Structures are given as structure tokens and as C-alpha cells.
Amino acid sequence: MSAFDGRALRDAFGSFATGVTIVTTAGPGAVDVGLTANSFSSVSLDPPMVLWSLARSAASLEAFRSCGHFAVHILSAEQEALSTRFASKGIDRFEALAVERGPGGIPLLPGCMARFACRLAYQYEGGDHVIFVGEIVEFSHSARKPLVFHGGRYGMLLPRQAGPAGEPGNLSTDDLLYQVSNAYFRTRQAVVEQLARKGWTAEAYAVLSIAGQGEGLAVHEIVARSWQLRGQPVSEDAVRQLIARGLLHEPEPARLRLTPEGRLAVMELSALRKASEAGVQGDLDPSEVQLLKHLLGRLELR
């Protein structure tokens, strides 16, 4: 029996960032078997071999011990939900999944970053795990970005930005402030240009965006909130103009709300904003966009 603290040792192992895989096989009675695992490694190029390990306590151990073939799927950044599904207990992990069939009838999952169909070559006892070594009989891979696991959490790979750091005291293009402000103004400019083409001003957009929150704000409150939204306040005249156009009304004294026409205008403005955002995102894939939103949301802005 080891004298190490099990939780501490698990945490130490977890400091090593890994990819995430799902390993599948065709079990007894042609029942598909699969589970999430990050204990995967390449072994050899000639012959082409990989290995992974499974806890001796796993319910699927005998299925993998007796299988002729198995498949290792390296998951892409968009497949976190699939990883969670194959790590869950008490469910049919293959329910409603469109699978292909590989050697020996093993189930192959689509949309992965890479996939290896293997012949079971060796299995070894490894403490509380069994190590499976497979010889690759067919494989595929794509340019998708990988799903990453570190410290008990999912993540995604963020490429390191190369380039000079700049002189001390100078604002370089590698500075966080530069990157955030540059991204903001580029994104905002795209929205402003779209608005102008449709006859909307940036002030009108700001006022309707704030009024669309449905709280019933006074004119001076809309002006104050616009400072947070766009870095400068809107004029009271801009608010009054929208009232005159029938897009805002005052059902309560000094409390502005959208009219039905105003709600339609907000829907149009939201569509314009989304179209502008899509253009600015360029080559970013959906997982990168979600990561960007997550990181920006964690900034300590005071």
C-alpha cells in the first residue's frame, strides 16, 4: 500500500495537460462499449502502435480485454459534451449517435480531431490499471483544434503569440490593453458602419439597447448607462428623438419603455450587430469565440 495521499497524487497527475479521447469497441453480443479516457499515448511509428489504460474496477474492462479491435478518438474542442456523455454512468452513451463501423464492427465516432482503429496487440497489468497496446490498422485526422484537459477541467489550446515584446514603458502590440482596445474599436467600427448603412446612428443603437433591457429607466439613467456601454454618454436629445419617432414611450412618469415599433427596431439592430460580429470573427471557430468571451468576462475591470 502506498504511503502517498491519493488525492494529492491525483492532483499532481492532473497538472499534466492532456488531450481527451473516447475509446470504443464492440462488446459481447455486438453491444457497443465506449468511455472517456486521457491515458493515451503514441508508442511506435514502425509498426504504428498506441496505448491507453483502463482501471481494473471499470465495468467495461472485460469487453476490452476480450476485444479483437478498439478505436481511439482524439476529441476536438467542440466535443466537450460528447466527452461528458461518455464519462457518465447509467446512460446509453451511444443513444442517437450516428456511428460508422470499423474493423471487427467497432463503432467509430464522427467529428473528431483524429481517430485510430487498432488491433489489440498486447495487454499488461499496471497496478490498479490494465494497459492496452494496439496496432493501428487505419486512421484519419483533421485540422480541428483539440479538446484539452488540465487540473480537472476542460480547456482548449491557445497558440503562443510570437513577436518582440517592445521596449519597457512603450505600449506594444503584445500588451493586453492594446489588444483589448484594438479589438473593441475594430468590432465597434464594423457595427457603426452597418448601422449607418441602414440609417441608424450609434446613439440610437445605444439608447435602444439600454431601453430594451425592460427595466423602465428615466432619461438621465439611460444617459448614465450609455457611458458604460460606449465610453461616452448619449445626449438627451437622442433619447427625445426616439420618443418622437414612436420607438419609446412613458407608461409611467419618467420611466421609458420600448413601444412595439421599438421592439422591432431592437430586433433589427440585434441582427445587424450579429452580422457585424460574424464578419469581425474571421477565421475564429465557435470554440475560440466561446473561449474569448469567457476570458473577457473574467477580466477584473474596475
Q: Which pTM value belongs to this model?
A: 0.61
Q: What is the pLDDT of residues 107-153, one digit of tens each?
A: 999 989 999 999 999 999 988 999 999 999 999 998 888 888 877 77
Which range has the top average pLDDT, 65-69, 208-212, 228-232? Answer: 65-69
Average pLDDT over residues 231-257: 77
Q: Is the pLDDT score of 210 beyond 70? A: yes
Contact 142, 109 (CB under 8 A): no
Percentage with pLDDT > 90 across the chain: 35
Q: Is the pLDDT score of 162 beyond 60? A: no
Between 103 and 12, the more confident residue is 103
Q: What is the pLDDT of residues 14-24, one digit of tens each?
A: 777 788 999 99
What is the rounded CA–CA span in Å between residue 69 and residue 71?
A: 7
Question: Could you tell me the three cell numbers for 40?
Answer: 493515451
Residue-level pLDDT at 244 = 84
Identify the bridge partners of residue 257 per DSSP, sorted by sequence position: 249
DSSP, res 113: S
- Look at residues 181, 242, 260, 246 and name the one whose alpha carbon lies nearest to residue 206: 242
Residue-level pLDDT at 300 = 65
CATH of the domain spanning 9-156, picked from 3.20.20.70, 3.40.50.1820, 2.60.40.10, 2.30.110.10: 2.30.110.10
What is the rounded CA–CA span in Å between residue 83 and residue 78?
A: 10
Residue-level pLDDT at 174 = 65
- Look at residues 4, 20, 2, 23 and name the one whose alpha carbon lies nearest to residue 12: 4
What is the rounded CA–CA span in Å between residue 87 and residue 21?
A: 11
Average pLDDT over residues 181-197: 72
Q: What is the pLDDT of residues 52-88, one digit of tens each?
A: 999 999 999 999 999 999 999 999 988 999 999 999 9
* Domain ranges across the chain: 9-156, 176-297
The answer to whether 9-156 and 176-297 have equal CATH topology is: no
What is the rounded CA–CA span in Å between residue 32 and residue 97?
A: 11
Confidence of residue 1 (pLDDT cuts 50, 70, 90): very low
3-class DSSP state for residue 179?
A: helix
**Burial readout 199-224 (b: 16 or more C-beta within 10 A, e: otherwise):** ebebbbbbbbbbbbeeeebebeebbe
**Any alpha helices (H) in the chain, and if so which ranges?**
6-14, 61-65, 80-87, 176-197, 202-211, 219-230, 236-244, 260-281, 286-297
Fold of 176-297: Arc Repressor Mutant, subunit A (1.10.10)
